[in-house]
């Protein structure tokens, strides 16, 4: 495992921020770290980035206990723009590169590469304060990946971005991931999770409540829902009692199957009575639905 979090607990005064959290992250994948506000995501990220120390538990990075030397292999981009407003873009990137232990020449080489890639050459001498939110996010993103980290932690990277800039950042994340970077992606926006992440870790009230592949989790929480399309209008009365009608249109129907019948049996029955079926597909729950369902379940 590339990152192994073992039984991490952290208490702040009266609040238990993390309670015995364990999970593991495989190298080269994109993970979504999900959870409502106060779930403990930021505390967890701060423990991985060594801003905080856990009260108990251990973190292993690439097989070794997490140490200071690993910080140079981690890139973290917080939701809020962490930029010096009065600094010029070039100076800012140079400063961050120096803090990442690059020599002046190495820093220049990397900065040149990324400013060309993100097409921001003309902004190099502009102050951060003069840039739009999208532009600032691009600068922030470059500052985060300048040192080509093995683990990239992104907190709401698309927040406040227009669709074009979102795509630019998204493509960059995929490219980094294709080149071997593991990504831990903290977000509330579930549409991004489904699109980007292969795996998720769901947290609530300082605890991990769910972990696994997106497809497996969807299967785990599926409700036996199917949509069947017909070539002409149909009558509801033709369906057997084991089937619960969820939604009905002129030429389609959404049904929930009981445990006494499966989709093959149902389709056979429908075909036998001559129903003109043109399409069938299973409706899996979205990550958003699973998220809401799980969080509500715990809070109840």
Partner 1 sequence: MNHLKYIIYREFTSRVKKKSFLLVTILVPLFIGLLMIGTILVAINSTGKMTIAVKDETKLFEDKFRGLDQKNITFHYILDSKTIDDWKQNYTNDYNALIYIPIIDMENPKGITCFSDKPLDFHTETIITDALSDVVRNQVLMQKNYDVDLIQKLEEKIPIEMVINNEKQTGRNSLSGGFGYIAGFLIYMFLFIYGTMVMRGVSEEKTTRIIEVLATMVKPFYLMLGKIIGIGMVGLFQVGIWAVLIFGIQTLIGLLFAGQISDMQNVQSVGNYEQAQVSVQMINESIEALNSFSLIRIFLSFIFYFFFGYVFYAAQFAAIGSAVTDDTDVQSLTLPVTIPIILSIVLMSVVVEQPYSPVAFWASMIPFSSPVVMMARIPYDINWWEQILSMFILLISSIGMVYIASRVYRIGILTQGKKVQFKELWKWLWAKY
Task: Give the binding site for partner 1 (CB under 8 A).
Answer: 13, 46, 49-53, 55, 71, 74, 76-78, 80-87, 95-96, 98-101, 140, 143-144
Rounded Cα gap, residues 35 and 214, in angstroms: 15
Q: Closest CB to partner 1 among 88 and 269?
A: 88
With CA atoms as reference, report the closest residue to 184 among 78, 54, 288, 256.
78
Q: Give the other-Cβ count within 10 Å of 157's Cβ.
A: 27
Q: Closest CB to partner 1 among 84 and 113?
A: 84
Rounded Cα gap, residues 57 and 152, in angstroms: 22
Q: Closest CB to partner 1 among 109 and 167?
A: 109
Q: Closest CB to partner 1 among 73 and 198?
A: 73
Coil/strand/helix, residue 66? coil
Rounded Cα gap, residues 142 and 140, in angstroms: 5
- Closest approach, Cβ 86 to partner 1, in A, equals 7
In DSSP terms, which residues pair with 188 in a beta bridge?
Answer: none
- Closest approach, Cβ 76 to partner 1, in A, equals 5
Report residue 13: phi and psi, to 5°.
Answer: 45, -110
- Closest approach, Cβ 52 to partner 1, in A, equals 5
Q: Where are the beta strands (DSSP E) in 26-114?
A: 30-34, 56-61, 64-65, 74-77
Query: CB–CB of 98/147 below 8 Å?
Result: no
Q: Closest CB to partner 1 among 86 and 117?
A: 86
């Amino acid at each position: 495992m590339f990152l192994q979090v073992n039984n991490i607990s952290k208490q702040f005064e009266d609040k238990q921020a993390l309670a015995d959290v364990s999970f593991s992250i495989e190298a080269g994948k994109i993970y979504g770290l999900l959870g409502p506000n106060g779930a403990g995501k930021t505390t967890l990220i701060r423990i991985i980035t060594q801003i905080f120390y856990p009260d108990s538990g251990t973190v292993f990075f690439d097989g070794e206990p997490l140490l200071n030397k690993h910080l140079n292999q981690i890139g973290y981009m917080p939701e809020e723009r962490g930029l010096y407003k009065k600094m010029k873009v070039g100076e800012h990137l140079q400063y961050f590169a120096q803090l990442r232990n690059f020599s002046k020449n190495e820093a220049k080489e990397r900065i040149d590469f990324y400013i060309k890639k993100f097409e921001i050459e003309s902004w190099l001498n502009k102050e951060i304060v003069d840039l739009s939110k999208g532009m600032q996010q691009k600068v922030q993103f470059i500052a985060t990946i300048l040192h080509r980290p093995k683990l990239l932690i992104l907190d709401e990277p698309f927040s406040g971005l227009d669709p074009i800039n979102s795509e630019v950042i998204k493509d960059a994340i995929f490219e980094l991931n294709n080149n071997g970077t593991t990504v831990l992606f903290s977000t509330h926006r579930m549409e991004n999770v489904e699109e980007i992440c292969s795996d998720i870790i769901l947290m609530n009230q300082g605890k991990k409540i769910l972990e696994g592949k997106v497809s497996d989790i969807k299967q785990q929480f599926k409700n036996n829902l199917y949509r069947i399309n017909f070539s002409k209008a149909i009558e509801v009365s033709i369906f057997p009692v084991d089937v619960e009608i969820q939604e009905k249109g002129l030429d389609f129907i959404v049904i929930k199957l009981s445990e006494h019948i499966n989709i093959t049996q149902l389709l056979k029955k429908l075909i036998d009575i001559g129903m003109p079926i043109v399409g069938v597909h299973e409706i899996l729950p979205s990550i958003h639905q699973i998220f809401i369902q799980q969080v509500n379940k715990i809070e109840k």
